């Protein structure tokens, strides 16, 4: 069965620090990969997704993620975080076939010190 | 563009009682999803509809949970009877279609507390 691992449950950074959140998945086939974000008091929303092409994907608010197939990883990065990046971040994966359900990781809570 | 609407936002019930949640997806979205998110975990898919047909309900506890999407638009999720472990946030999401890479748009969720 597919699974997604986010090893960092809570990350605390100062503003302007660089960010990397880890995401590993277990599935041997072709996959789509997603990062969703939930800001305090807001809905879960898509940050970025990979489904084909360039393995380096750029999303909203300066975030990017790199799909490394050999490592089954899809880590999220941002070179310089802001206080407004405080949120919960979820990595997710599904099999690249029609109607395949998305499996979410357990999430990483990011706290930014102003 | 209006987002996914859910009601109620909060619900507190006692175990063995019944509860129902309502979801109105984004207009024109054929696919609707219900997720359960327990505190400290990621969302878990309970059921996925394509129009008014069920695509996946493999993780829906069918002895107590039921869901319907009669006219292919609004949907209701019911729990009867509720157990303590059903305490969670119930999220509704919709997407244009059910292609794997389609973006899902989430509603605000209903926070259920079972006492």
How close is the nearest chain A Cα to the Cα of B103, in Å? 7
Q: Judge whether A109 and A88 are in contact, CB under 8 Å.
A: yes
Per residue in A34-90, pLDDT (tens digit) is 999 999 999 999 999 998 899 999 999 999 999 999 999 999 999 999 999 999 999
The answer to whether the CB atoms of B103 and A44 lie below 8 A apart is: no
Q: Which residues of B65-86 are buried (b: 16+ CB within 10 A; e: fewer)?
A: bbbebeeebebebebeebeeeb
C-alpha A44: how far from its chain's center? 12
Q: How confident is residue B1, by pLDDT bands cut at 50, 70 and 90?
A: low
Contacts of A105 (CB under 8 A, 6+ apart): A4, A5, A6, A23, A90, A91, A92, B42
Q: Which of B42, B100, B108 sits opposite A98 (nearest CB)?
A: B100
Structure confidence at residue B31 (pLDDT): 93
pLDDT value at A7 more than 90: no
pLDDT value at B37 more than 80: yes
Portion 39-98 of A in contact with B at CB < 8 A = 43-46, 49, 51, 90, 92, 94-98
d(CA A74, CA A91): 8
Structure confidence at residue A89 (pLDDT): 98
Per residue in A89-103, pLDDT (tens digit) is 999 998 877 567 889
Structure confidence at residue B71 (pLDDT): 86
């Amino acid at each position: 069965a597919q699974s997604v691992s986010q090893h960092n449950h809570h990350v605390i950074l100062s503003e302007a620090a660089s960010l990397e959140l880890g995401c590993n998945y277990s599935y041997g086939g072709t996959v789509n990969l997603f990062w969703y974000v939930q800001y305090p008091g807001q809905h879960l929303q898509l940050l970025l997704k990979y489904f084909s092409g360039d393995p380096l994907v750029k999303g909203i608010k300066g975030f990017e993620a790199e799909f490394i197939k050999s490592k089954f990883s899809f880590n999220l990065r941002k070179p310089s975080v802001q206080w407004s990046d405080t949120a919960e971040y979820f990595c997710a994966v599904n099999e690249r076939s029609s109607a395949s359900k998305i499996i979410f990781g357990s999430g990483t809570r990011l706290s930014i010190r102003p | 563009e209006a987002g996914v609407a859910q009601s109620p936002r909060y619900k507190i019930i006692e175990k063995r009682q019944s509860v129902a949640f309502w979801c109105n997806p984004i207009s024109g979205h054929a696919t609707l999803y219900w997720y359960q998110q327990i505190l400290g975990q990621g969302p878990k898919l309970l059921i996925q509809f394509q129009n008014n047909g069920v695509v996946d309900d493999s993780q829906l506890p069918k002895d107590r949970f039921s869901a319907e999407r009669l006219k292919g638009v609004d949907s209701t999720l019911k729990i009867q009877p509720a157990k303590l472990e059903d305490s969670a946030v119930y999220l509704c999401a919709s997407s244009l279609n059910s292609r794997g890479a389609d973006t899902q748009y989430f509603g605000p969720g209903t926070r259920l507390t079972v006492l």
